[in-house]
Structure 1
Amino acid sequence: MDSFTTILICLIITNTRWIVAREGEWRSATATYTNETDGPIITDIIISGGACGYGDLHKTYGKYSAGLSTGLFNRGSTCGGCFEVRCVDHIHWCLQGSPSVIVTATDFCPPNYGLPNDYGGWCNYPREHFEMSKSAFTEMAEKQADIVPVQYRRVNCERNGGLRFTLLGHSHFYQVLITNVGLDGEVIAVKVKGSKTGWIPMGRNWGQNWQCDIDLSGQPLSFEGHQQQ
């Protein structure tokens, strides 16, 4: 434990290269909401950290978090990406003027093939669907709506306070969770370099948790990250 504490204190964040994302075109999807409290928007996150590994989303990304269906989640590589979402084509449920809300991809909305795609199986493949917090959902649609048609597009993420690195592991297993990523929001590749090593590629463990099976204890560390071009 002492050696791992030394890593945490000596962490150096350098050589990070991020590529600016392009604003995407509007696409069609659907959206629902979950009832959030003071904790995460999806109950399982309290225990598991969610499919992206962010932990308590209320503290990490606030109410502007969304679970994505299989078609959007892309096996976790979309974690951290930002989407502008607006309610469309529903005169009763969409708020006047079709205001939009920007959400961060933070979790996976699993399919339910026991229900039809258009009646409960909102996240069944290949549907594109957003499961939002009630607070975010009601900025664009009426609360009484069960599901609304939406348009969405990828946008750059605006973050304050810089990148955040959460370190886990031990002498033979090193893991880092990367959050608060701006621009494209996604991280698609990560390398780590200790004062006694060269650059070492890290593999995606799950979501935005990256790992390598190298003993990095007692060394200042640098990270190099890459985003989608």
Structure 2
Amino acid sequence: MAFALKFHYCLLFIMVLLPALCSADQDPFTGSRATYYGSPDCLGTPTGACGFGEYGRTVYDGNVAGVSRLYRNGTGCGGCYQVRCTVPKLCTDDGVNVVVTDHGEGDHTDFILSPRGFAGLARPNMALDLMAYGVVDIEFRRVSCRYPRSNLNFKVHENSRFPEYLAIVILYQGGQNDITAVDIWQEDYQQWSSMRRAFGAVWDMPNPPSGGLNLRFQVSGSYGRQRWVQLRNVIPGDWKAGVAYESAIQLN
């Protein structure tokens, strides 16, 4: 009987503690406002300030956003957020997860959502009623990006000119991670050379090394944890502008 009673109290303790443990790694929600922009297909735009191109239009099924202060001079590009609105009777409990692909400022808003993303805030059959507000109060928090069928991709930006100028943008950036630096290995000098953040998520370098390129990039994750990730021959020596090269890794 005593054993059964202890087991009962232990089970009750676990049941009470488990929700706190499961939510310990989640950021708290922050109050703000959100609006949406016009788009004929309700998706994102390929001309966003992050430089993602077509990826920035369709990633996460077009649930994308331009942000203001969260843009952080491009460091915030590729970050994922859970956004939920607080209009009574119109908003879902979970809201929608969006990817940052652009920079934009509205009427005291942190998010300018794609029409599809904004509609995802609403309960079934309530999207038009919610969109009629134009701007709504929201809560948001940073969440992990999930790309179960994709590893990190290194896309050679369309502005690149082989072989004298290379610009790259990193796609499918998983987890709660920011890319804060990118280096290329210079074999002739036996040292790492820094790429410049040209704009948004685009990194560039004039006169890059020839041959297959070894890259390393600095990742700043949850709670300020930083690390370097190094990849060999991630971009081939005959790279072409506009082509994305998939790596063998994903961040989490």
Q: TM-score with structure 2 length normalisation?
A: 0.66
* Counterpart-to-counterpart distance in 2, 1:193 and 1:41: 35
Equivalent residues in 2 for 1:64-75, closer than 5 Å? 64-69=63-68, 71-75=69-73
Matched-pair identity in %:
27
Structure 2 unaligned blocks of 5 or more: 1-24, 123-129, 225-252
Aligned position for 1:136: 117
Equivalent residues in 2 for 1:55-94, closer than 5 Å? 55-56=53-54, 57-69=56-68, 71-88=69-86, 90-91=87-88, 94=90
* Counterpart-to-counterpart distance in 1, 2:102 and 2:214: 28
SS of the residue 2:61 aligns to:
coil
**Pair 1:40–1:101, CA change in 2 (3 A):** closer
Query: Which amino acid is the alignment partner of residue 54 of structure 1?
Result: F
- Residue 128 of structure 1 and its aligned partner are, at CA, apart by 4.3
Aligned position for 1:173: 165
* 1:54 and 1:60 in contact (8 A); partners too: no
* Counterpart-to-counterpart distance in 2, 1:201 and 1:173: 14
Deviations 1:114-139 (A, max 9, x none): xxxxxxx51xxxx4421111212112
Q: 2:191 aligned with 1:203, yes or no? A: no
Bigger helix share: 2
* Counterpart-to-counterpart distance in 2, 1:212 and 1:26: 38
Equivalent residues in 2 for 1:1-80, closer than 5 Å? 23-38=26-41, 41-42=44-45, 45=46, 49-56=47-54, 57-69=56-68, 71-80=69-78
Aligned position for 1:105: 100
Q: Which stretch of the first structure deviates more once superposed, 187-196 or 98-107?
A: 187-196
* 2:44 and 2:58 in contact (8 A); partners too: no
* 1:52 and 1:106 in contact (8 A); partners too: yes
* 2:165 and 2:205 in contact (8 A); partners too: yes
Q: TM-score with structure 1 length normalisation?
A: 0.72
Q: 2:137 aligned with 1:149, yes or no? A: yes
- Residue 185 of structure 1 and its aligned partner are, at CA, apart by 4.2
Structure 1 unaligned blocks of 5 or more: 1-21, 111-120
* Counterpart-to-counterpart distance in 1, 2:117 and 2:42: 15
Deviations 1:101-123 (A, max 9, x none): 1101100114xxxxxxxxxx51x
**Pair 1:52–1:78, CA change in 2 (3 A):** same
**Two-structure CA RMSD over aligned residues (Å):** 2.2
Between Structure 1 and Structure 2, whose CA radius of gyration is higher?
Answer: 2
- Residue 143 of structure 1 and its aligned partner are, at CA, apart by 2.9
- Alignment length (residue pairs): 184
* Counterpart-to-counterpart distance in 1, 2:177 and 2:40: 25
- Residue 161 of structure 1 and its aligned partner are, at CA, apart by 1.1
